């Protein structure tokens, strides 16, 4: 199992087949025989409806059955109940963390009706993982409340450092951190819903946007989120919106308590601009595309990276398709985005040295604004032009190569450049954390090793050239 699979994969691919299943009144001798015949180390105990109510393992047999119980004793007298379990779509690191912290060798995988679909076994699940990675799992396994979620967020720096030491590519490390953040968002939504006095009056889908929507969050993400609300008649707006106002306020506050600061630009579900029905989202996108104002361009930069993370994903997919149609009919908006892209520049001086983005001694370069963003915005612009649904920068570059918008070699070079720049930024953030500073976006490239300086310099040159190509493709001239 790879480190990235451990932290960003799901339970289902790692689970083993379901062991033998017996009824609660099955004699323990029969349960042990079934276990031995199947060459398994456990049996599950299920009721008449097939719902798992207990588990009997080899250890249970040694501790509770051998020389203590009559062979005819019903297995329910010896089984462990209630059963700790995982869901097939749960993140694997959470299941492994539960097994580690509870000392479990077996963890049943149950569906929503508590019927078995597989089994996680300790050795098969994480025998290939190093001790440091498993220790990182335990640090992530925190209580299911906002304080625990904040502790999980705080543990991400050590996780990122461990993954880098394990030679996991920096871009993959950032992807792992992002997926853990998405997992936290889902769990916080569940807690916020559980605290409500009534269920949602209509279904909704939670969107994350910006770097979270791209799966490219570093160590200091804030909130960029919104809600697609299920359809309802206009006359019901007051009552329905009142429920969602309260819910969104609580959700954003819970996210903040868990370590995701409130967005300074108010791109959050508590703002009605980012909380509306699907038809209203479509109309909002049309208005932005028609007006092409600076605010519309700024909002487009954030919103067009949207990704569904809770609720039915279908409304988000439909909104993505609608966005493609809107932009295809309004090429002037993409041209305006290209003009905005042309205002960005990579962090290199005229002579090829690193540009200073802060004044005074020890000047550093802002590798987010002057490195990642020109690449992110260029890939986004081309992806929007070609109707590509992917939101991650690397996925967009790969998709652009598939449709022939860029060459395969250019895509591979830009993906490598993304990794070099993101890696330098991530390592600087880890150094900031180690020295007690909040992680930022300014990087001391002059203090970096020569090899890293060379790699980042070449990456910025490649990004800058790509940025010019994209701007030229929309403006018809070089700049």
Is residue 251 located within the same domain as residue 397?
no
Distance separating alpha carbons of residues 290 and 285, to the nearest angstrom:
9
The region that residue 405 occupies, defined by phi over 0 for left and psi between -120 and 50 for alpha, beta otherwise, is alpha
CATH code for the domain in which residue 299 is found? 3.30.460.10
3-state secondary structure of 277: strand
Q: What percent of the chain has pLDDT over 70?
A: 96
State the chain's mean pLDDT as an integer: 90
Q: What is the pTM of this model?
A: 0.85
Q: Comparing C-alpha atoms, which of 221, 217, 162 is closest to residue 4?
A: 162
Q: Is residue 133 part of a domain?
A: no
Q: Is residue 137 part of a domain?
A: no
User: Among the listed ranges 6-20, 42-56, 130-144, 180-194, which one has the minimum average pLDDT value?
Assistant: 130-144
What's phi and psi for 310, nearest 5 deg?
-150, 145
pLDDT at 106: 93
Distance separating alpha carbons of residues 318 and 321, to the nearest angstrom:
5
Is residue 169 located within the same domain as residue 294?
yes
State mean pLDDT over 153-163. 90
How is the beta sheet containing 275-277 ordered, strand by strand?
275-277, 225-229, 204-208, 307-310
State mean pLDDT over 274-292. 96
Q: Comparing C-alpha atoms, which of 172, 22, 49 is closest to residue 113?
A: 49
Q: What percent of the chain has pLDDT over 90?
A: 68
pLDDT at 97: 87
pLDDT at 361: 56
Residue 162, CA atoms < 13 Å, CB-side half-sphere = 21
pLDDT at 67: 52
pLDDT tens-digit series, residues 131-155: 777 787 878 877 888 888 888 888 8
CA distances to 253, 436, 439 from 433, in Å: 24, 5, 6
Is residue 168 located within the same domain as residue 315?
yes
3-state secondary structure of 322: helix
Is residue 110 located within the same domain as residue 199?
no
Is residue 153 located within the same domain as residue 95?
no
pLDDT tens-digit series, residues 328-381: 999 999 999 999 999 999 988 877 788 888 765 567 889 999 999 999 999 999
Q: Is residue 171 part of a domain?
A: yes
Q: Is residue 162 part of a domain?
A: yes
CATH code for the domain in which residue 432 is found? 1.20.120
Among residues 94, 126, 158, the one where a domain terminates is 126
- The answer to whether residue 243 scores a pLDDT higher than 90 is yes
Is 337 buried (19+), middle (13-18) or exposed (0-12) by CB count in 10 A?
buried
Among residues 64, 93, 126, the one where a domain terminates is 126
Q: Is residue 219 part of a domain?
A: yes
Is residue 316 located within the same domain as residue 188?
yes
Reading the block at residue 309, the tokens are 């993370």
Reading the block at residue 42, the tokens are 């456990």
pLDDT interval class at 477 (50, 70, 90): very low
CATH code for the domain in which residue 62 is found? 3.10.580.10
Is residue 180 located within the same domain as residue 296?
yes
Q: Comparing C-alpha atoms, which of 354, 368, 345, 301 is closest to residue 466?
A: 345
pLDDT at 65: 63
Is residue 311 located within the same domain as residue 194?
yes
Is residue 67 located within the same domain as residue 188?
no
Strand intervals (E) in 296-447? 307-310, 365-366, 442-443
Is residue 84 located within the same domain as residue 175?
no
Q: Is residue 95 part of a domain?
A: yes
Reading the block at residue 107, the tokens are 């963890």
The DSSP code for 14 is: G
Among residues 281, 299, 326, the one where a domain terminates is 326
Q: Is residue 132 part of a domain?
A: no
Is residue 363 located within the same domain as residue 455?
yes
pLDDT at 476: 61
Q: Is residue 251 part of a domain?
A: yes
pLDDT tens-digit series, residues 395-454: 999 999 999 999 999 999 999 999 999 999 999 999 999 999 889 899 988 888 899 999
Distance separating alpha carbons of residues 190 and 260, to the nearest angstrom:
17
pLDDT at 25: 94
Reading the block at residue 196, the tokens are 């409500």
Reading the block at residue 162, the tokens are 């461990």
**Full domain range(s) for residue 301:** 142-326
- What is the domain count for the chain? 3
pLDDT at 364: 85
pLDDT tens-digit series, residues 61-111: 777 665 566 788 899 988 999 999 999 999 888 898 888 888 899 999 999
């Amino acid at each position: 199992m790879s480190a990235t699979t451990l932290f960003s994969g799901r339970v289902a691919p790692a689970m083993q087949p379901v062991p033998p299943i017996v009824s609660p009144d099955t004699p323990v001798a029969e349960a042990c025989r079934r276990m031995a015949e199947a060459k398994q180390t456990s049996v599950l105990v299920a009721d008449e409806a097939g719902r798992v109510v207990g588990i009997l393992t080899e250890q249970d047999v040694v501790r509770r059955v051998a020389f203590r119980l009559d062979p005819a004793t019903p297995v329910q007298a010896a089984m462990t109940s209630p059963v700790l379990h995982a869901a097939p779509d749960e993140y694997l690191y959470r299941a492994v963390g539960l097994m580690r912290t509870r000392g479990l060798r077996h963890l049943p995988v149950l569906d929503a009706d508590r019927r078995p679909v597989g089994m996680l076994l300790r050795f098969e699940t994480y025998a290939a993982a190093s001790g440091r990675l498993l220790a990182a799992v335990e640090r992530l396994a925190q209580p299911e409340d906002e304080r625990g979620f904040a502790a999980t967020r705080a543990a991400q720096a050590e996780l990122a450092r461990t993954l880098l030491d394990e030679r996991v590519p920096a871009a993959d490390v950032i992807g792992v951190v992002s997926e853990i953040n998405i997992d936290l968002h889902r769990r916080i939504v569940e807690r916020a819903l559980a605290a409500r006095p009534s269920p949602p009056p209509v279904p909704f889908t939670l969107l994350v946007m910006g770097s979270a929507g791209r799966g490219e969050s570093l160590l200091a993400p804030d909130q960029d989120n919104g809600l697609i609300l299920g359809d309802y008649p206009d006359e019901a707006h007051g009552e329905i919106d009142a429920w969602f106002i309260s819910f969104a306020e609580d959700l954003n506050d819970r996210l903040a308590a868990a370590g995701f600061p409130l967005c300074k630009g108010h791109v959050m579900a508590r703002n009605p601009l980012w909380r509306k029905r699907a038809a209203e989202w479509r109309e909002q996108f049309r208005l932005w595309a028609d007006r092409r104002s600076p605010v519309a361009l700024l909002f487009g930069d954030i919103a067009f990276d949207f990704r569904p993370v809770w609720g039915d994903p279908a409304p988000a997919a439909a909104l993505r398709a609608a966005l493609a149609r809107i932009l295809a009919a309004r090429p002037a908006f993409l041209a305006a985005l290209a003009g905005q892209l042309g205002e960005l520049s990579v962090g290199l001086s005229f002579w090829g040295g690193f540009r200073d983005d802060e004044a005074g001694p020890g000047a550093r370069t802002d590798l987010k604004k002057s490195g990642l963003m020109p690449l992110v915005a260029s890939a986004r612009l081309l992806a929007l032009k070609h109707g590509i649904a992917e939101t991650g920068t690397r996925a967009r570059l790969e998709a652009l190569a598939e449709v022939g918008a860029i060459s395969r070699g250019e895509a591979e070079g830009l993906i490598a450049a993304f990794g070099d720049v993101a890696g330098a930024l991530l390592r600087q953030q880890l150094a900031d954390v180690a020295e007690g500073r909040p992680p930022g976006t300014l990087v001391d490239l002059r203090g970096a090793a020569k090899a890293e300086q060379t790699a980042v310099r070449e990456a910025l040159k490649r990004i800058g050239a790509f940025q010019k190509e994209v701007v030229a493709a929309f403006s018809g001239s070089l700049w």
